[in-house]
Copies of this chain bind each other. A is one copy, B any other.
Amino acid sequence: MKKDGMKDFPRIGIIGGGQLGKMMAQEAKKMGLFVSVLDPTPGCPASSVSDIQIVGDFYDEEKLEELVKQSDVATYDIEHIATEPLKRLQDRGYSILPSPYLLEVIQDKLAQKEILKKAGIPVARFMKIERIAVEEFKKFGYPLVQKARKGGYDGRGVAVIRSEEDMAKALHTGSYVEELVDIEKELAVMVARSTKGEIRCYPVVEMVFDEKANICDMVIAPARIEKDLEERATEIAKEVVKVLDGVGVFGVEMFLDKKGRILVNEIAPRPHNSGHYTIEACATSQFEQHIRAISGLPLGSTKLLSPAVMVNLLGEEGYEGTPLIEGFEEALSMEGLYFHFYGKKTTRPYRKMGHVTVIDDDVEKALEKAQKAKSILKVKAR
């Protein structure tokens, strides 16, 4: 900040150049900011929409330092990155947001759960296990979900154990067990909190999962739930981000169970798949909001301008290689449909290759259209 009240634009560094990094970069560039991206894949989705790509691993201390040093504020689009060097850089005065100390907690799902529980945030009953053994599971009680403490992503690192017979499915890695929640709906709230403590929530949304791949498939905004549940979910989400002292945009994933309980499942310390709909349907997109939050700028309005449904375009089963899209023209002729394709060089079964958002004054109509789009659009390979 200069003395005369004028401000130089912050230079943004993003660790991770996947679709989230790409969409962050596009919003930052819209505002004229300088954007650098660190990603191991040359030509990653964010690279062609940013000023600079540093090609390097997320665990390469030298590359992380290079990115952080050339940025006024650094952030990340993925949790699986080295926190130790980032903590050291933060301690030396560099700005990395959300804080790598917070990220360290998030990376360990058990530590995350313990902090939330301690703060009085409602979570499913869980227990740390000392070793992967029948006695441990039995002690907790069946049915249960065993979750890897680290490295889980898009459905990986989770095993449902209904009885001793399922022991073969158990994960052999540091993990904990959790009650198998009788899920009515999966909900999510995107929460933004700025360096100045300003906080804003986006509407509560419903996440629909592909059962086969256990990957988020569709998001319905706003969630079709009662007003009081909506308010409760919003309050809980806000509280979570305050408890973590988070700065940036956070995806708070929650279960609504058959008994009407809202339980926090997990936190993403970054823009999130459940918030893609905000690009078209909200006054400020989650990506611009994240840039504002970490740059010390005022937060934008999170107002929902129109109901919306987002569907992920996942790589079709049976195809691997350079992506080719089927149904592109037909889908684009649908009114109120927005097409996003990330520019990944290779498609694989269930890989997130793009998404479409459909807006409509009637959320049920948006849902119908989105389902139609999903049936039309197929990501295959050349």
**Which A residues are within 8 Å of any B CB, using their own CB?**
2, 5-9, 22, 26, 29-32, 35, 48-51, 283, 292, 297-298, 300-301, 305-306, 324-326, 328-329, 332-333, 335-336, 339-343, 354, 359, 380
Contact = CB atoms under 8 A, between A and B. Distances in A.
Given A26-B26, A301-B336, A329-B297, A9 B341 contact: yes
Contact of A325 (B6, B292, B328, B354): B6
Given A5-B326, A326-B5, A343 B301 contact: no
B5 A332 contact: no
8 contacts: A6-B325, A22-B29, A26-B49, A32-B343, A32-B354, A283-B335, A283-B359, A301-B336
Contacts of A298: 329, 332-333
A32 B300 contact: no
Nearest to A284: B338
A257 B359 CA distance: 39
Nearest to A301: B335
A356 to B, nearest CB: 10
Count the copies: 2
A336 B332 CA distance: 28
A336 B26 contact: no
A9 B48 contact: no
Contacts of A300: 332
A7 B49 CA distance: 23
B7 A325 contact: yes
A332 B298 CA distance: 6
Contacts of A283: 335-336, 359
Contacts of A30: 26, 339-341
Nearest to A1: B329
Given A8-B324, A26-B26, A48-B50, A341 B32 contact: yes
Nearest to A2: B324
Given A30-B26, A49-B29, A6 B333 contact: no
Nearest to A50: B48
A2 B322 CA distance: 15
A292 B48 contact: no
A133 B187 CA distance: 75
Contacts of A35: 48
A110 to B, nearest CB: 38
B26 A29 contact: yes
B336 A297 contact: no
A354 B9 CA distance: 13
Contact of A51 (B48, B51, B301, B341): B48
Given A5-B326, A298-B332, 13 more contacts: A6-B325, A7-B324, A7-B325, A9-B328, A30-B340, A30-B341, A31-B340, A32-B354, A48-B50, A292-B332, A297-B328, A305-B305, A305-B306
A248 to B, nearest CB: 17
A308 to B, nearest CB: 12
A213 to B, nearest CB: 22
10 nearest A-B pairs in the assembled complex, by CB-CB distance: A32-B341, A298-B333, A48-B51, A32-B343, A6-B326, A6-B324, A298-B332, A49-B49, A301-B335, A29-B49
